[in-house]
Amino acid sequence: MKPFSAGERLHLVNKKGRVYRIALKTGAMYEFSGEKISHDDIIGLEDGSEIALSRGTRFFVFRPTLAEYTLHMKRGAQILYPKDLAIIPIWADVYPGATVIEAGIGSGALTIPLLNAVGEKGRLIAYEIREDFARRAIKNIEAYFSPSPLNDRLFVHNQSIYEGIVEEEVDRIVLDLPEPHLVVPHAVDKLRSGGIFLCFLPTVPQIEKVVAALREARIFESIATFETMLRPWSVDGRSVRPSLRMVAHSGFITTARKVTRMT
């Protein structure tokens, strides 16, 4: 594990579990309730190290997890919740070396786990009609990855995927946009046999349209729609109870697999 370096965004966590975010900068000073510590004293430490401020208050220093990073990164568009970001690459079966189409890129929250899944030998092609969204997403992605995956395994088209898909024989199509049913005809032409189509949608009328389009195409099987819910639990000795708040409905995931029928 590489040590912390200048420019990284880190989390300081105290004994109560409260999180304080800092961006390391050579020569800078971090202040907390009248106490101080130099950023230079943190640079070079390992992930999970304990530090002490000038009057003895202690923190653990962590690199943010992907879930934490996506929740707090700058955004130009609404992002998906970590519970959905975690499950989408699994249900889309994104694997190392795959060629994946994503639309739209939004703030880049879904792009990051997809890039992790395709690995260094895969390709992720993102379609985003909003140039401002694409610029923001690329900044977020480049702040997470080192070196930048742009133009190596991440390629961005500033155009609408509703107008068509440039690439041929893609392995997976993953969509987070309002009208994925309009992409189904392009998936018919560009998705390889056995390839997976996945879309994330917040409302029932939207999933009705995309499922109807998939069935009408007559070359998709294993069509399924589901949602996930996340309920935390509090465990304190013998006091074990569900949290009073949970992340319930955020959206529906619809998946389908392209087939080649006998003639």
How many structural domains compose the chain? 2
Give me the phi and psi of 185, to 5 degrees please: -60, -35
How far apart are alpha carbons 136 and 96 in whole angstroms? 26
Q: Is residue 157 domain-shared with residue 248, that is, in the same domain?
A: yes
How far apart are alpha carbons 260 and 36 in whole angstroms? 65
Assess if residue 72 is contained within a domain.
yes
pLDDT number for residue 77: 67
Q: Which residue range forms the structural domain that includes residue 191?
A: 67-258
Q: Which residues of 159-170 are buried (b: 16+ CB within 10 A; e: fewer)?
A: ebbbeebeeeeb
pLDDT number for residue 147: 87
How far apart are alpha carbons 137 and 158 in whole angstroms? 12
pTM: 0.90
Do residues 217 and 180 make contact, with C-beta atoms less than 8 angstroms apart?
Answer: no
Assess if residue 3 is contained within a domain.
no
Q: Is residue 112 domain-shared with residue 172, that is, in the same domain?
A: yes
pLDDT tens across the length of the chain (263 residues): 789 999 889 999 998 899 999 999 999 999 999 999 999 999 999 999 999 999 999 999 999 999 999 888 877 667 788 999 999 999 999 999 999 999 989 899 999 999 999 999 999 999 999 999 999 999 999 989 888 999 999 999 999 999 999 999 999 999 999 999 999 999 999 999 999 999 999 999 999 999 999 999 999 999 999 999 999 999 999 999 999 888 889 999 999 999 998 87
Helices (H) and strands (E) in the chain, counts: 7, 15
pLDDT number for residue 106: 87
